[in-house]
Chains A and B, each alone.
Chain A
């Protein structure tokens, strides 16, 4: 129990720290930031293009993370997980979201799922060493919790 509370604290800190890292590193979206609402809209493409640019989510995912964090602080893991899954649908390749989802599941005591989610996060994390090591820590703790349970 003590351990769970300790972990929750660490996790809240991590989320707060990670919250400031860029949500996406896709070079294709540089310059297409949502704040640039003054940019003159381009002409609309009327027919469906054969190749579609992926969605980029500026603030949508950030907003969801804020909501998920609020839900988690209240111990409402179900809602936090639902929110994060919604974010994953928007940005399935955002490694951070998978990590947060892993944290929620860890807090629920669903260690096996948590470890798998963290592995997925690592697969998507590419060069983000900080995130990789957070995932590694979580996986190690999940395995320990799983075996001592």
Chain B
């Protein structure tokens, strides 16, 4: 022992120094292990937190109104085809797949998509739609051969409210991914997926060998789990520390979660393309984006193409590089054949198929910024910005894509044409428009300026301009509601000087600088006489007219001086729309709505924006005003509308012009639709147009483009129609020639002398 001790002692210098190091080394190693352990715990926490909570920030999807189809619906086949194209439906001989149609002349075979609405799910079905003239004649389900009364298509997506990174995805369950696609992906990307623990040394070795043989990088050794981790948690840098993180996290993910859950996450996370600033993630969104279908409806060749694309979404972009994509797709099909996933027949058939990719859809980031601006104002009252960006809400709006498209187009082309025709400097005119469905008060379209894609100053909502003669129906409504006036009451169209509070006086003049003396009240409105309107308004009091305006739905501050009576008060096109909506609706005010409902990401209803209704004005008085607004289009300031519109179409409307032709307005409605148009300049200089030469021209063009339903005013109880002689001013119970048919209340008729024609010669 001593010897050996001696021996040891002899070797001691070396051994001693080794011993000196072993302890620190041990400490360092232990520290590193402890550090690694703690770091792993940290990563573990991170992974579990992310993976167990909400896995993705889902953008809110904003939809247009769905198109309702029913026998009797006024709809042209062309209009349906346009809607189908916006929805990325594709033509297919037998329409065997949801999202396809076959056009067969007077009928259409349509295979609709399923969609979850506020009041339940619309099922996918294969139907035959027959058209007759301007209507849908019949709808028949081709599976049970029974007629259908009502079908709702899926809605066009018009905007998306994104988180900062603009990732777009449609989440799926694993059972919503085609089995072949799953098998093909695993056999190509990660053969040992079901056996490894997140990281596969075998596949790394295999990849290294392949790469050595090839002399370059041709294969990656990453498992699907690693690819998911890389996409989901990590940046794209290629460093050793990232590789280490990736390996640890993959192992942890595999440790905590079943393989199928990891696979499902992979299919939802994977990046598959770029649409402008919008990133397409996941198989669900990619199927929609490239093929207009759900994954389960994809053909074999389309499934193979998706695998090709995920290998390099920009390199194999099938829209930009079709040959490259088809080559890679066929390579994938070959591998599937080699692995026995498909038969040689299937492989051959699929390889001979075209790519099957649809034309790039219109961007769904924000197609109609002016309308969306309105939607967001409404949403911000009920939702937090953060929730809008991340909770995957489904927002159903009232936008009618056809009306919106025509409105945008009409404004842009008419302004251009007017500038050209009148030699006005290019791009100096501006315009705004709001279109509503009169029955429901739903906003169908908003145009915020001549460039419909410009997401900035929204003139439809934020431009505040004098409304000129658009105020006159409000003044006449006020007078009629007092029951002291009727449409034949004589009023004075003579100059009137009005004292303003500051001791100044103000004198109104007619547009044509002519005074017309004593005239029946309706004539003043038909021809938009300023002096007569001012006289009438002063008789009943400015306050009274302001109160009427308030009742009709305007709550912004107004000018309280007599010039209010001639429209020297600022309002936005949207405010004006609210006023005329109430008139078009017979005196019932409905707050204008741009949203119908909001659903959560799973399709559960969160909120519905209901139809509100309040009687705001006396229906008899409103009916009388509307009758005169109808006369405005027949013989008054808006009669030029019939230069382009058919004579048997009934309309009601009012022109508005402000001092020095700064603002040109037109507000008018047909049987089903109201539109308010403003035209002017942003710098508030003279634009050079009156209501009828400027805004009305745009209005008329829009109604021409859309085709209009005739206005049919429904007389409330207690209204009778009589004739007023234009030259003698006599009220008669029949048309005695040169007379105009006007409505009167029975209370007024009780005190008015009514004549017959025979007394006409007196």
A residues neighboring B (CB under 8 Å): 29, 32, 34, 37, 39, 41-46, 48-60, 62-64, 78-79, 81-83, 85-86, 88-90, 92-93, 101, 112-113, 116-117, 119-120, 122-124, 126
Contact = CB atoms under 8 A, between A and B. Distances in A.
A50 B708 CA distance: 6
Contacts of A93: 439, 714
Interface stretch (B71-79, B171-179, B471-479): B71-79
A92 B71 contact: no
Interface string B538-556: 0000000000000000000
Interface of B: 68, 70-78, 105-107, 118-119, 130-135, 137-138, 140, 147, 149-150, 437-440, 442, 586, 588, 597, 608, 610-615, 619, 645-646, 648-649, 671-672, 704-710, 714, 716-717
Contacts of A46: 78
B119 A83 contact: yes
Contacts of A92: 437-440, 672
Contacts of A122: 717
A124 B713 CA distance: 10
B137 A85 contact: no
B614 A116 contact: yes
A113 B612 CA distance: 7
B71 A60 contact: yes
- Which of A55, A101, A126 has the most CB atoms of chain B within a 10 A radius of its CB? A55
Given A44-B106, A60-B68, 11 more contacts: A34-B72, A44-B105, A48-B707, A51-B707, A59-B70, A60-B72, A63-B149, A90-B70, A92-B439, A113-B612, A113-B614
A43 B131 CA distance: 9
A90 B136 CA distance: 14
A52 B140 CA distance: 25
A57 B586 CA distance: 22
A52 B79 CA distance: 13
B74 A54 contact: yes
A52 B149 contact: no
Given A59-B70, A116-B588, A37 B649 contact: no
Nearest to B439: A92
A50 B614 contact: no
Given A116-B613, A116-B615, A57 B72 contact: yes
Contacts of B619: 123
Nearest to B715: A126
B615 A119 contact: yes
Given A51-B708, A89-B442, A41 B137 contact: yes
Contact of B150 (A42, A53, A63): A63
A37 B146 CA distance: 12
A82 B140 CA distance: 25
B716 A86 contact: no
B707 A49 contact: yes
Contacts of B72: 29, 32, 34, 55-58, 60
A83 B140 CA distance: 22
Contacts of A50: 645-646, 649, 704, 707-708
Contacts of A117: 613
B619 to A, nearest CB: 5
A89 B437 contact: yes
Given A52-B708, A88-B611, A120 B588 contact: yes
Contacts of B107: 41
A60 to B, nearest CB: 4
Given A44-B77, A85-B611, A52 B71 contact: no
19 contacts: A42-B133, A44-B133, A50-B708, A53-B74, A53-B135, A53-B709, A54-B709, A55-B73, A60-B70, A81-B610, A86-B68, A90-B68, A92-B440, A92-B672, A93-B439, A93-B714, A113-B614, A116-B615, A122-B717
Contacts of B615: 116, 119-120
A37 B439 contact: no
A45 B76 contact: yes
A64 B77 contact: no
Contacts of A90: 68, 70, 73
A44 B108 CA distance: 12
A59 B137 CA distance: 12
A9 to B, nearest CB: 25
Contacts of B586: 120, 123
A51 B135 contact: no
Given A44-B77, A60-B72, A88-B440, A113 B149 contact: no
Contacts of B133: 42, 44-45, 53
B26 to A, nearest CB: 70
B709 A52 contact: yes
Contacts of B73: 55, 57, 60, 90
A124 B648 CA distance: 23
A101 B107 CA distance: 35
Nearest to B610: A81
Contacts of B149: 58-60, 62-63
